Chain A
Amino acid sequence: MIIKGIFETLYMTLMSTLLAYVIGLPLGVILVVTEKESILPNLGLNKILNIIVNLARSVPFLILLIAVLPITRFITGTTIGSTATVVPLVIAAAPFIARLVESSIKEIDKGIIEAALSMGASPFQIIYKVMVPEATPSLIVGAAIATTTILGYSAMAGIVGGGGLGTIAINYGYYRYEKGIMIVTVILLILIVQVLQEAGMQIARKKDKRK
């Protein structure tokens, strides 16, 4: 049961992180490049995206989880189990990831973007040949933060039968007062977070050629 819980938790976390990046990464890039002094200025779009991201981020996850149940059912055909939980996780994590990506890319020195412009690089080339590669170490650190945060959210989904360690902790530890199981799940969650975080930092350090 515990083993199955670990797998479900990892599945939910990694799947959601991956899908959230599919949305969040481009969104974060667009947030940067549409700014006033950037390479594809579009103030209108920038403002709208900023509002959407802020709105999505201001809804607490537990409420969002319940509020999007119809969408979850529409996409996955069910509202319980780990696959169903991926939907609200992605919706909650994507805007969060967009902000992480935005701040990573904004750290890049403007001069190196100017250098690329002076060579006749197009905005698209600048994004995938300069911005993303130069921000890679910082993006990986961001990914470690995102993954561990999503892991925390996935446990919260246990309340509505989301599967994984969260569900085990609630069903056994909370409803049945089985303290032992509660403690085991908490320790497991701590371990998983430690491993993911440390792995992310190591990869980022290896990738960074600045030192």
Chain B
Amino acid sequence: MSRQLEEPIIEFKALGKTFSSANGEVKALKNINLKIHKGDIFGIIGMSGAGKSTLVRCINYLEKPTEGEIWFDGRELGSLNEKDLRKVRQSMGMIFQQFNLWMQRTAESNICFPLEIAGVDKKEAKLRAQELLKLVGLEDKAGAYPAQLSGGQKQRIAIARALATNPKVLLCDEATSALDPTTTESILNLLKDINKKLGITIVIITHEMNVVEKICSHVAIIDKSEIAEAGKVHDIFTHPKTQAAQRLVYPNDNRINHLVGKRCCRIVFDGSSSYDPVVASMILECKVLVNILYADMKDIDGKAFGELIIQLPEDEKTADKVIGYLHSKNLQAEEVSNYVG
């Protein structure tokens, strides 16, 4: 694929970060190797304390890595002096869980701030702020102070502020974690929209799988300071290889206990045959009654993803027939009778 040949916009090379405190050293990040390409919506997901916030802060060098390198748009950030680093930061926007708006400035003045820093003149900055307020759907809130806005509106202003200087990358640090589900949805839609309209690369740090499912094209799973798995959301979702990935994809997974001693089959839906009534046809075709033990289906981008675990009939022949049928439908089906963790 041509994508692989393209220069990534962000690249981590053997990156590590160790915090040293009075109580000894804490390794927050270990040997991180990751490429993020232009136009991606790249999710970085992990449990709290996994190191994801530190990782995103390495991208704009708010945290300086102690090992390895971080490359942004063809430049190694560690090689830059303070002044150049500040220039580079102007081409990255960042939004936060707690919004971090300046409380003594109006919405418009918040949006103008990064432009002031970049040396844009006041009139032009105001026009740009108007444009951005329109983009985030809050034209009428230019003169409002953050205290007068709701959580969702604050995050929209923060997004407008982050986009003011036309950055190449938008970094989102748990940007929806302080919001209710409906507001989260609308903010995610806005981010997706911005990605499509402006072609901006978005890096999203989150601990919520549904955020990744909803908008990310790629995902990296970070576990105990290391990248456990990375790739297209679709691939990770259908074939989570590592335990960390499985834990995130199937969060309340207690199926293993039920399965011991039974002959079962795990069917993976990867979106290719979403609207076919596969299971129903299988029952009719093979003339068997199957018992559904576990099902977890999710809708991603209008396609069905997930897995289904069925108990196979005792009779060997019919069981083979079932598996054969599923394979003929191009579904991933594997026997999991001896599958224990």
Which A residues are closer than 8 A to B by beta carbons?
Answer: 109, 111-112, 114-122, 125, 129-130, 133-134, 136-137, 207-211
Contacts and interface: CB of A to CB of B under 8 A. Distances in A.
B289 interface: no
Contacts of B70: none
Contacts of A119: 89-90, 93-94, 113-114, 117, 165
B98 A111 contact: yes
Interface stretch (B101-109, B134-142, B189-197, B219-227): B101-109
A100 to B, nearest CB: 19
A121 B96 contact: no
A145 B113 CA distance: 32
B250 interface: no
B128 to A, nearest CB: 14
B60 A210 contact: no
B113 A134 contact: no
Majority SS at the chain B contact face: mixed
A110 to B, nearest CB: 9
Given A120-B86, A120-B88, A209-B147, A133 B60 contact: no
**Number of contact residues on B: which range applies?**
20 to 34
B96 A111 contact: yes
B118 interface: yes
A104 to B, nearest CB: 13
Given A115-B100, A115-B101, A117-B62, 8 more contacts: A109-B100, A115-B94, A115-B102, A116-B113, A116-B117, A120-B118, A121-B117, A209-B105
A209 B89 contact: no
A114 B89 CA distance: 12
A114 B100 contact: yes
Contact of A118 (B89, B102, B116): B89
A112 B101 contact: yes
Interface of B: 60, 62, 85-90, 92-94, 96, 98, 100-105, 113-114, 116-118, 145-147, 165, 171
Contact of A114 (B62, B90, B102): B62
Given A129-B116, A209-B147, A211-B147, A121 B86 contact: yes
B153 to A, nearest CB: 15
A133 B96 contact: no
B62 A210 contact: no
A133 B104 contact: yes
5 closest A-B pairs by CB: A120-B89, A120-B86, A115-B100, A118-B94, A111-B100
A137 B89 CA distance: 30
Contacts of B88: 120
A207 B165 CA distance: 29
Nearest to B165: A119
Contacts of A136: 104
B201 to A, nearest CB: 16
A51 to B, nearest CB: 23
B86 A122 contact: yes
B86 A134 contact: no
B86 A210 contact: no
Nearest to B118: A120
A99 B196 CA distance: 50
Contacts of A120: 85-90, 114, 117-118
Contacts of A117: 62, 89
A205 to B, nearest CB: 13
Contacts of A130: 102
A118 B103 CA distance: 17
A112 B94 contact: no
Contact of A115 (B96, B104, B116): B96
A133 B102 contact: yes
A136 B103 CA distance: 11
26 contacts: A109-B100, A111-B98, A112-B101, A112-B103, A114-B96, A116-B113, A118-B89, A118-B94, A119-B89, A119-B90, A119-B114, A119-B117, A119-B165, A120-B86, A120-B88, A120-B90, A129-B113, A129-B116, A130-B102, A133-B102, A133-B105, A134-B102, A208-B104, A209-B103, A209-B105, A210-B103
B117 A125 contact: yes
Contacts of A209: 103-105, 145-147
B244 to A, nearest CB: 28
Contacts of B93: 118-119
Contacts of A111: 96, 98, 100
Contacts of B62: 114, 117-118
A117 B171 CA distance: 13
Contacts of A137: 104
A118 B114 CA distance: 9
A136 B86 CA distance: 26
A130 B67 CA distance: 32
Nearest to A123: B82
Contacts of B147: 209-211
Contacts of B101: 112, 115
A119 B86 CA distance: 7
